[in-house]
Amino acid sequence: MSIIKKLHSRNFFIANLVVLGIVIGFALAFTFRAGPSSGGPALPVVKAESPSLVASADTESAIATAESVQNAFRNIAKTVLPAVVELDVVENPPKAQTAPQQDQTPQFPFNFFFGPDTPTPQQYQPQEGLGSGVIVRRSGKTLYVLTNNHVAGNASKITVKLSDGRQYDGKLVGADSRKDVALVKFESNDTDISVARLGDSSQLQVGDWAIALGSPFGYVSSVTAGIVSALGRSGGPDGNINDFIQTDAAINKGNSGGALVNIRGEVVGINTWIASPTGGSVGLGFAIPINNIKSTIDDFITSGSVKYGWLGVSLSNITQDQASAKELGLDNAKGALVGDIFLKGPADKSGILPGDFITAVNGNPVQSTDDLVRVVGDIKAGSSATFDLIPSGKQITIEAKIDLRNDSIASNNALIFPGATLLSLKSDSVDQKQIPDGVKGVLVADVLAKSPAATMGLQSGDIITKVNGKDVNNLKDYYDLIAKNLGKKLVYTLNRNGQTVETLAYVGK
């Protein structure tokens, strides 16, 4: 069949008609999809536009304020971070400990603050540790780094790492466990090493910006920000006598010894410990106020140790017990109770007596026993200070000459008179069922070993009913009688397990 005949055939015509129908169908479908539907009104078409960038005056002002704070943080990072270093330390074990140890995992030197990650046996091999420090002074080519005692106090090898990667061999200048501070030095001819600017921690207020800098977990040059959550916190670990700045700026392992700075980039504290159930930051970080340790830097450089002032008293937190405070007439009082006196010490020579309640030093109020220890410790040995006291309910002022604290004397319990801690029989911590009917007196809560009270045979749990034959009805009676017989012959009459006994006599010195 010819091509012309094929084109005019019936089948070819039908095929063309089908194709044409399909094309028309697609065209109509597209038209009705794009145009109005026959079942209702046309859907509105909205063209997308970029949001307007025009802000109100208030918004612009808020942004400018936020940017100014941001610029302050940038300035802090730029100027302070170069003065904050990482300290890698190696601690040697005590000489008596020579047994081998299988666990070779490096430990942080302050596990006693947070607890080890997993229980481990006693470590005998040299321990690797990590902490931070702040460059606080330069003298010639010697630079001094302030840090914590628990970071570098027992170090046999110290490596100082700057934020730009430079490393130096460090040497321990001095360390003090009572304030938990230490000073490390290193030598460098480089003149571009930054020294931090120290601020005035007494100007801090709750709510102030607080920025923590250090090397948490070895992450060098880390910056975290928060506020000052509280001031004057006490109760630091291992008998630390500082009051503390509390902050919610994140502080973790490795931050210890690093800087806490204000919004001006001034160092106002040295990060020291955290309160945490897990060992990680939960917003409860604590720093030593820089004012507490400014003079310590000078002490370390000049003598290698801290020079503490010493009053020669043993203090009691008895006012924390309501019944005991009431018997002494010290309800809601702030200060520190003198429980015992070091015979022939500064307090003894000045006329301060057991039972005196110290409320101020040099006119400045004393808040607690820890506060008094810090204040007296910062008084230069050989100088005099005035103490406001409440003996027998009346306030007086006494002047005392402060001595240099000598550890061997301060730890000699034989010089402490009388050497016992007392409580009211009405104290909530006393089991009233253990008090014999009709017995009056005071309860012996604790006795210092080798003190006069211990040599006399006084024991914890005894009830003192008489002092040198005179009745003791309460704590005020007791301290009045002790004050009258300070350093003299002393005999206690006791109720011990329901029996009346007398102690040996203290003859006096």
Q: Which residues are the active-site residues?
A: 150, 180, 256
- Provide the CA 296 distance to its chain's centre, in angstroms: 18
Backbone angles phi, psi at 319, to 5 degrees: -70, -10
Burial of 159 (0-12, 13-18, 19+ CB in 10 A): middle
Question: Terminus-to-terminus CA distance in the chain, angstroms?
Answer: 148
Contacts with 416 (C-beta within 8 Å, 6 or more apart), sequence order: 314, 340, 341, 342, 343, 448, 451, 452
- Provide the CA 248 distance to its chain's centre, in angstroms: 12
Contacts with 121 (C-beta within 8 Å, 6 or more apart), sequence order: 101, 103
Structure tokens at 264: 């001006």
Structure tokens at 265: 């980039």
What value, to the nearest 5°, has the Cα angle with vertex 161 and ends 159 and 167? 75
* 245 closest CA partner among 276, 268, 278: 268
Q: How far apart are CA 128 and CA 455, in angstroms?
A: 45
Omega prior to 82 cis, within 30 of 0: no
Helix and strand element counts for the chain (H, E): 12, 27
Contacts with 204 (C-beta within 8 Å, 6 or more apart), sequence order: 228, 231, 245, 262, 268, 289
Burial of 185 (0-12, 13-18, 19+ CB in 10 A): buried
Within 10 A of 264 (CB to CB), how many other CB atoms are there?
13
* 182 closest CA partner among 134, 245, 247, 242: 134
* 403 closest CA partner among 312, 493, 305: 312
Within 10 A of 161 (CB to CB), how many other CB atoms are there?
20
Burial 80-109 (b: 16+ CB within 10 A, else e): bbbbbbbbbbbbebeeeeeeeeeeeeebbb
Place of tokens 């009431």: 326
Long-range contacts, 321-325 (Cβ 8 Å, 24+):
321/423, 321/424, 321/427, 321/428, 321/429, 322/428, 323/423, 323/424, 323/426, 323/427, 323/428, 324/422, 324/423, 324/424, 324/427, 324/475
Q: How far apart are CA 45 and CA 39, in angstroms?
A: 18
